[in-house]
Amino acid sequence: MSVEIGSLITRTPGIVGGRPRIAGTRVPVQSVAICYKQGASPEDIAFQYGHLSAAQVYAALTYYHANREEIETAIAEDAELYDRLAREDRLAKQAAQPSTEASAERMPDVNSAVLR
């Protein structure tokens, strides 16, 4: 049985943000591309995911190489979003924790309370 190569990669609005993904999965092409760029072989990537065949991984890599600018843009956008959310989370946690100076200002002076 032959497989139509074009059927291995798909896009669906509402699934992984409408980005290209391996058909029948929620694995975006950019995730496969990131693993590949980190030095993993296609066979290693298929093994890591467990449910992907080598053909699916090679199809994702073919899509990546044929549409490198699109996938690199998606990778950069996700990295930027991650950095922004991490920064906002860090600032929110800092704001929720009283600083030592602010705590000292709010604490009553024990000596003056005893003298009253």
pTM: 0.75
Instruction: Return the higher-pLDDT residue of 24 and 106.
Output: 24
**Residue range 56-103, pLDDT digits in tens:** 999 999 999 999 999 999 999 999 999 999 999 999 998 888 766 555
**Residue range 3-47, pLDDT digits in tens:** 788 889 999 999 999 999 999 999 999 999 999 999 999 999 999
Q: Vertex 61, ends 58 and 65: CA angle to 5°?
A: 140
Task: Kindly give, in sequence order, each residue whose CB lies less than 8 Å from that of residue 21, ignoring residues fewer than 6 positions away.
Answer: 9, 10, 11, 12, 15, 27, 28, 29
